[in-house]
Amino acid sequence: MNLFVLSLIGAVIILDKYAFGEFGISQPVVSGMIIGALFGDLASGIFLGAMLQLIFLGGLPIGRVIPPDGQAAGIIGCGSYFFIRPFNAAGHALFVAFVLALLGAIIGGIMELYTRRFNEKLSHLIMRKENCLSVCHLAGLVTAFLRGFFLFLPIFIVASSISIPALFPELSRESATIICVSIGLANGIYLFVKKTTIVYTIIGALCGLALTVF
Amino acid sequence: MRLSIDRFLKILLSTFFIQTSWSFFSMQGMGFLFNLIIGTSKEKKNQIMRTHRGFFNTHPYMASYIIGATIRAYDEQTPPEEIKKFVAVAQTSFASAGDLLFWQTIRPALLLIAVVLGIHYGIIGPLVFLVIYNILHLYHRAQGILDGYAMGWNVIYVLKARRFKMAQQIFEISGALFCGFLSALISFRVGYLLAIPLTILFTVMLLRRHPALLLLFIVLLIIIVFAVV
């Protein structure tokens, strides 16, 4: 998979975040599946997507709040992993992919602020020229696409060109699972566990244990 | 009053673009204008532009209810001031209902289910999420336009309907259930006991409403510590 092509695909997927539809395709667990399928390793794509999803489970875009870009993190994390993995150890690839994903989420959030500020100019333009409503409004698709493309391309260039020395820290899948499940559980407890629902959490844990044992 | 199928489809398609040009100045203002102009006759364009130019913000899926009711009001030649008042009241009511239902309940619950199923059964997890989420989301988008157009101003009372409360309860329970499932994923291994203090730390941070950015930095730090150690 060419990094330019993956940046284009990523930029199309990220349109789903708010610019078109919001069908959930940009959620890390889904984008991880798509990118994994493109690289011919569905299992790793879903694993990475699922882990990153747990980190960004609670990011709620309510009102003017723009949380860190979890959707971009999913695309960056999975894409980077598959670019790094062929030339490096799995532990190294996982570590760098996670770091790039989390940094990408922060940079993506900042870029989103600027994109939305640019969209303000389109709003002001409509105040002056009423006839260009459709063009100005749909220009938002271009700004959202470019935001994604210019976020992904440099990160994928870095990911595909680095060679990690053997002494560099490695992140095992077990360690990644511990960290991500912890924050996923915290998000789940924060969102769902109340006096009225705690009994279902206990039932879920017991069912999970039973499934693991048998 | 009923919408024709081609008009309904045009409005439905346009609602997918409601947030396309989201900005801090007008939020979904341009998207709302775009939806109304697609859904009404060309003669009303100037009137709509004059009345609704500016701020509009609600939940993107629930906007359909307001769009349907507003288009009906324009079809019935309702005075623009009255329409503006309805839109101002309705957008906040539908925003809080939609945020609570979709952003805080349905989406995270289904994503939790997708993650648990994805880890155990692979592709089934994300597919289950996509199918169930889009059935619910498209239902609200489509039914919102139809209900809004059929009920007019009274569409605001839809928020009291049982289907909203039931959906919220069902997904809260599902979220809590799969939260339990997730905890079972990491049991039986000594190394995984580390998840307990980490979960407590993250839960405390979330309950104390620490900024998401700080939480992300802590996660990054923990990843580096785990990798180095």
Read off the pLDDT of residues A34-69 as tens digits, 9 standing for 90 and up: 999 999 999 999 999 999 999 999 876 555 667 889
One domain, residues B200 and B91: no
Domain residue limits at B226 = 190-229
Write down the mean pLDDT value for chain B: 90
Residue A142's pLDDT is what?
95
Mean pLDDT for B180-197 is 77
One domain, residues B97 and B207: no
- Position A15 pLDDT exceeds 70: yes
Q: What angle do CA B214, A188, B200 make, to 5 degrees?
A: 60
Q: Tell me the C-alpha distance between B168 and A77, whole Å.
A: 32
Does the beta-carbon distance from B29 to A187 stay under 8 Å?
A: no
Does the beta-carbon distance from B109 to A139 stay under 8 Å?
A: no
Mean pLDDT for A188-204 is 92
One domain, residues B65 and B95: yes
One domain, residues B96 and B195: no
Residue linked to tokens 């995984």: B192
One domain, residues B144 and B216: no
- Position B2 pLDDT exceeds 70: yes
Sequence-ordered list of residues with C-beta below 8 angstroms from that of A79, at least 6 positions apart, any chain? A3, A6, A10, A35, A152, A155, A156, A159
Give the range among B45-49, B65-69, B187-191 with minimum mean pLDDT. Answer: B187-191
Does the beta-carbon distance from A122 to B30 stay under 8 Å?
A: yes
Q: Tell me the C-alpha distance between A53 and A178, whole Å.
A: 14
Q: What is the residue type of B37?
A: I
Residue A213's pLDDT is what?
76
Q: Which two tokens stand for residue A149?
A: 């493309």
One domain, residues B112 and B203: no
Sequence-ordered list of residues with C-beta below 8 angstroms from that of B96, at least 6 positions apart, any chain? none
| Dihedrals phi, psi of B130, to nearest 5 degrees | -60, -45
**Residue A202 covered by a domain:** no
Residue A166's pLDDT is what?
84
Mean pLDDT for B161-180 is 92
* Nearest-CB residue to A197 (from B21, B173, B203): B173
Domain residue limits at A49 = 3-171
Rg of chain A, C-alpha, whole Å:
19
Q: Percentage of residues in chain B with pLDDT exceeding 90? A: 66
Residue B36, classified by CB atoms within 10 Å of its CB into exposed (0-12), middle (13-18) or buried (19+), is buried
One domain, residues B62 and B164: yes
One domain, residues B100 and B120: yes
Under the banding of pLDDT at 50, 70 and 90, the label for residue B189 is low
Going along A152-203, which residue ranges are E strands? none
Number of domains in chain B: 2
With H, G, I as helix, E, B as strand and everything else as coil, classify residue B67. Answer: helix
Quote the minimal CA–CA distance from A206 to chain B in Å.
Answer: 8
Q: Is the dihedral of CA A172, A174, A177, A183 positive or negative?
A: negative
Q: What is the pLDDT of residues A137-147, one digit of tens each?
A: 899 999 999 99
Does the beta-carbon distance from A207 to B181 stay under 8 Å?
A: yes
Does the beta-carbon distance from B180 to A208 stay under 8 Å?
A: yes
Q: Tell me the C-alpha distance between B95 and B164, whole Å.
A: 13
Q: Tell me the C-alpha distance between B216 and B222, whole Å.
A: 10
Under the banding of pLDDT at 50, 70 and 90, the label for residue B193 is confident
**Residue A193 covered by a domain:** no
Residue B147's pLDDT is what?
93
Residue A61's pLDDT is what?
57
Interface test with B, best of A14, A125, A172, A191 (most B CBs within 10 A): A191
Q: Tell me the C-alpha distance between A188 and A193, whole Å.
A: 7
Strand partners, A71: none
Residue A4's pLDDT is what?
92
Helix (H) or strand (E) holding B91: helix B80-98
Q: State ipTM.
A: 0.93
Residue A63's pLDDT is what?
57
**Residue A11 covered by a domain:** yes
Residue A164's pLDDT is what?
86
Q: Percentage of residues in chain B with pLDDT exceeding 70? A: 97
With H, G, I as helix, E, B as strand and everything else as coil, classify residue A205. Answer: helix
* Stated length of chain A: 214
Residue linked to tokens 């996982």: A94
Residue B191's pLDDT is what?
64
Quote the minimal CA–CA distance from B72 to chain A in Å.
Answer: 22
Q: Tell me the C-alpha distance between A177 and A75, whole Å.
A: 18
Number of domains in chain A: 1
Mean pLDDT for A107-136 is 88
Sequence-ordered list of residues with C-beta below 8 angstroms from that of A188, at least 6 positions apart, any chain? A57, B108, B112, B175, B176, B178, B179, B182
Strand partners, B27: B23, B56
One domain, residues B131 and B205: no
Q: Which two tokens stand for residue A30?
A: 């889904």
One domain, residues B121 and B25: yes
Residue A130: alpha-carbon gap to chain centroid: 36
- Position B190 pLDDT exceeds 60: no
Residue A60's pLDDT is what?
61
Q: Is the dihedral of CA B54, B31, A151, A82 positive or negative?
A: positive
